[in-house]
Structure 1
Amino acid sequence: MTAPSVSVVVVSRHRPEALEYCLTSLSRLIYPNYEIIVVTDPSGEAAIHGMGLTGRVRVVPFDIANISIARNRGIEAAAGDIVAFIDDDAVAEPLWLLHLAAAFHDPEVSIAGGFVRGRNGISFQWKARSIDCTGMAIPLQLNETCNTVLSPPPDQAVKTEGTNMAVRRQVLLEQGGFDPAYRFYLDETDLNMRLAVAGYKTVIVPLAQVHHAYAPSTRRRRNRSVTDLYDIGASSMIFLRLHCPEALHVTRIAAVRQEQRERLLIQMRDGLLEPSEVRWALKRLEQGLTEAAEMVLPQLQPLHCTTPAFLRFESSANGDHIELAGRIWQKSELCKQAAHLAEQGKTVSVFIFSHTGLFHSVQYCKPGFWLQRGGLFGRSDRGQKLFRLDLFRTRVQAETRRTAEIRWDCTKY
């Protein structure tokens, strides 16, 4: 079956280092028909040039703190039948786009979302979730080995994450893309609700996976401590005004206040915030709620643009996969080998095991290989037993199988 054309849109502002990692992963996707569009500021453009990607990716200059408008600029610059989205502080597994795009072979599917792993590369930040008219997300239980097409009940939608989702381009144009009233937070959730109301079906694709690191921004520090809650307050109020019966507003706003207060107090307890910073963040939350309640909300109109020529990206990956494995003292040499093999186009997984029961972690390294570290007897999946007895070779084989369908084994396609 012919692979649909996909435009991968990345929005990046003031985070050139994170963007470099993201683009390194995107440049090594195992997919035959995609282009990369980066909506970014001058620092991002400089990073793209420094990586030697000038002319290979489409750059859309943009330096305004509004992710919805930025994503719409990316949609307007896209030429693919499908538009996929990933954040600049995320990296994609090599088969991410193959799994995500395959979901659209079903003509009834208009939007797809995958799973998102956290900073340690093992635990999941988000799997499958639904949302109700208040914006509250609820976990969904489904088969995590295959795709699931979902049609939610009234006043609900299937939640897709902005850092791992794809939508048919024509649908995005007709729907007016992302609502610019959402500068940050709930922007994709609002789109999910609008698509659900319009009757579009969503598919959850568990094997389409990215790793999301939460890079610092004007709203949080590198350690994820909160610095500003204005946009969360504003977006929460906008979402309620657009999707929720007014009778439920008071209850939901109280819940938002409580959720954010508890989040801040935990960070203060952990030494990440000072009491004055907690007070400031809560004040900004209230400002966002108040100002958004009085804001004149724009009426969304369809996006109109001239479809540009498709800028097909030639992936650096040749489809070959190699595993390297060793002990802690071999890490430096194995990483050098991995870098050399990656430069040759190989998809490389490096496994470094200590003779312990330490939990595992996965790190994406330049120039494009995967480094997994942990104890020979430790967990690499949070659902596994706390301690497992394994021979070294057996453990390498098990970890290779565990990552096969997201990293290199595309035989079913």
Structure 2
Amino acid sequence: MTPADLSVVVVSAGRPEALHRCLLGLSQLRHAGIEVVVVADGAGQQAVQAFAGRIKLLSQDIPNISAARNAGIAAAAGQILAFIDDDAVPEPTWADAVLEAFSDAELAAVTGPVLGRNGISMQWGPIAVNGLGKDLKIDPNQPIRDGYMRKLQGTNMAFRRDVFERLGGFDEAMHFYLDDTDMALRVGRAGLRTAWVAGAVVHHGFQASARRTEDRVPLSLFDIGASTSVFLSKHAEGAEISAVVRDLEAAQSSRLLALAKRKKLNAETMRKLMESLRDGLLDGQERASSTPIPSHASSAFVPFVRVDPPSPTVLSGRPFQRMGLHREAERLVSNGQPVSLFVFEPTPRKHKIQFTNGGWWEQYGGLYGPTDRGEARFQMHSFRGRLDREVRRISATRGLLPDGDTN
């Protein structure tokens, strides 16, 4: 399949800066030709004006991720529809890996690795889920246990369009939370094939939103409660529902107590948050499931980028050179040149990777420190040896040549 078969849908509310960074990342995908559909609130629409004419931009007046995704599906012209969150950024080879997987004509949907805030550790790996919403870690190369289906992570999933034409879209009674899990169960129970694509890598930042702070302290649990009730009414039996609700309340209470011990919450805030969870559970019981079949786009396919970006440039240096390296990275990115920057300090500090607001990838940490968290805490390297090792490590997903241009 070709990039012209792929539409990427991004839903955004309350995170304009993150949305802009997400689109910068999408603009650096290794091969041009994908379509990008953005469904955003007013602030998000303003943030992406630099991409005007290159994206399909829709308004999201009321926050509802399922309704927004369905609107994006209807506007998209591609035969493959991928979804990524506004606070996430794909590795440059992400679309290539997704499209290669769909060269299997029997495949209906895929998902792949989601890396966490340090840009290295796995946030979500291969998981299966059942009708109670219980997750199970799985070997992606082994059969999935009876009663479980492959979980499709909302920030990194893709479907053939005809899946939605057959099963309907995302359930609009789920405004946030479990919407992707519901879709995964519907796909699995319909007997459609899904796959784990190890090369389709996304970085997910867990940015602040109307529901949580930057450090993941919840501001409301209402939507978690409401979507849980809708989900359970569709996929669980009566006796099971009561047990799952009790487990949910206990888990959220434990979560809040842990935050309170870290001085992130007080008793009154904890009480209000638990009330919001219970209010949501009650509200969700009154909601009618709604999975409309999104209409097919009547508009033409709009390529986001029409020319393949050049091969990435590698910059490297030490902390005292960082300001100058940032200026050089900014200059290159402004001229359409993707950049991977490596900054090594003479310590055993653990490494982190991020896609910056300026539009370049940056890895920083100790020259003698671990990258993968399972590695030895102290390692001996020369600067050049460490750089070569790190370039080789990410070359497959970043689109770097192991012995490519380094500066």
TM over 0.5: yes
Task: Structure 1: give runs of 5+ residues left out of the alignment.
Answer: 143-147
Equivalent position amino acid for 1:258 in 2: A
The one of 178, 183, 198 equivalent to 2:175 is 183
Distance 1:397 1:63, change over 3 A: same
Let me know the Cα RMSD of the aligned residues. 1.8
The one of 334, 351, 354 equivalent to 2:342 is 351
Match of 1:84, SS state, is strand
**For the Cα contact (< 8 Å) 1:27–1:315, is it kept in 2?**
no
Equivalent position amino acid for 2:120 in 1: I
Q: Distance in 2 between the 1:319 and 1:405 partners?
A: 16
Equivalent position amino acid for 1:209 in 2: V
Q: Distance in 2 between the 1:261 and 1:296 partners?
A: 25
Alignment correspondent of 2:278: 286
Q: How far did residue 74 of structure 1 move?
A: 0.2
1:251 aligns with 2:243: yes
Q: Superposed, which structure 2 residues align to 1:377-388 within 5 Å? A: 377-388=368-379
Alignment correspondent of 2:24: 24
Q: Superposed, which structure 2 residues align to 1:242-391 within 5 Å? A: 242-293=234-285, 295-298=286-289, 300-314=291-305, 318-391=309-382
Alignment correspondent of 2:194: 202
The one of 46, 58, 61 equivalent to 1:60 is 58
Task: Structure 2: give runs of 5+ residues left out of the alignment.
Answer: 403-407
**For the Cα contact (< 8 Å) 1:320–1:345, is it kept in 2?**
no
**For the Cα contact (< 8 Å) 1:95–1:410, is it kept in 2?**
no
1:5 aligns with 2:5: yes
Alignment correspondent of 1:145: none
**For the Cα contact (< 8 Å) 1:151–1:201, is it kept in 2?**
no
Could you list the per-position Cα deviations for residues 150-207 of structure 1 after superposition, in whole angstroms to 9, with x for gaps in the alignment?
7645432101111111111121232211000101000000000000011111111122
Q: How far did residue 319 of structure 1 move?
A: 3.5
Equivalent position amino acid for 1:349 in 2: S
Q: Distance in 1 between the 2:108 and 2:143 partners?
A: 11
Q: How far did residue 234 of structure 1 move?
A: 1.3
Q: How far did residue 316 of structure 1 move?
A: 7.0
Alignment correspondent of 2:405: none
**For the Cα contact (< 8 Å) 2:112–2:197, is it kept in 1?**
yes
Alignment correspondent of 1:110: 108
Q: Superposed, which structure 2 residues align to 1:212-227 within 5 Å? A: 212-227=204-219
Match of 2:390, SS state, is helix
Greater alpha carbon shift after TM alignment, 8-17 vs 362-371: 362-371
Could you list the per-position Cα deviations for residues 109-164 of structure 1 after superposition, in whole angstroms to 9, with x for gaps in the alignment?
1111111111121222111100011011111234xxxxx5x764543210111111
Equivalent position amino acid for 2:137 in 1: P
Q: Distance in 2 between the 1:151 and 1:37 partners?
A: 34
Greater alpha carbon shift after TM alignment, 29-38 vs 276-285: 29-38
Alignment correspondent of 1:124: 122
Q: Distance in 2 between the 1:315 and 1:345 partners?
A: 12
Q: TM-score, normalised by structure 2?
A: 0.94
**For the Cα contact (< 8 Å) 1:29–1:315, is it kept in 2?**
no
**For the Cα contact (< 8 Å) 1:90–1:213, is it kept in 2?**
yes
**For the Cα contact (< 8 Å) 2:132–2:244, is it kept in 1?**
yes
Q: How far did residue 275 of structure 1 move?
A: 1.3
Could you list the per-position Cα deviations for residues 299-337 of structure 1 after superposition, in whole angstroms to 9, with x for gaps in the alignment?
534333443210012167623122111111011111222
**For the Cα contact (< 8 Å) 1:317–1:345, is it kept in 2?**
no
Greater alpha carbon shift after TM alignment, 133-142 vs 84-93: 133-142
**Percent identity, aligned pairs only?**
39
Q: Superposed, which structure 2 residues align to 1:163-182 within 5 Å? A: 163-182=155-174
The one of 87, 98, 101 equivalent to 1:89 is 87
Distance 1:359 1:322, change over 3 A: same
Q: Distance in 2 between the 1:165 and 1:102 partners?
A: 14
Q: Distance in 2 between the 1:151 and 1:341 partners?
A: 46
Equivalent position amino acid for 2:52 in 1: T
Could you list the per-position Cα deviations for residues 342-391 of structure 1 after superposition, in whole angstroms to 9, with x for gaps in the alignment?
23333211111111100111121243211111001111111222221111
Q: Distance in 2 between the 1:151 and 1:141 partners?
A: 8
Q: Distance in 2 between the 1:151 and 1:103 partners?
A: 18
Q: Distance in 2 between the 1:87 and 1:316 partners?
A: 24
**For the Cα contact (< 8 Å) 2:355–2:361, is it kept in 1?**
yes
Q: Distance in 1 between the 2:5 and 2:103 partners?
A: 12
Equivalent position amino acid for 2:169 in 1: G
Q: How many residues align?
A: 402
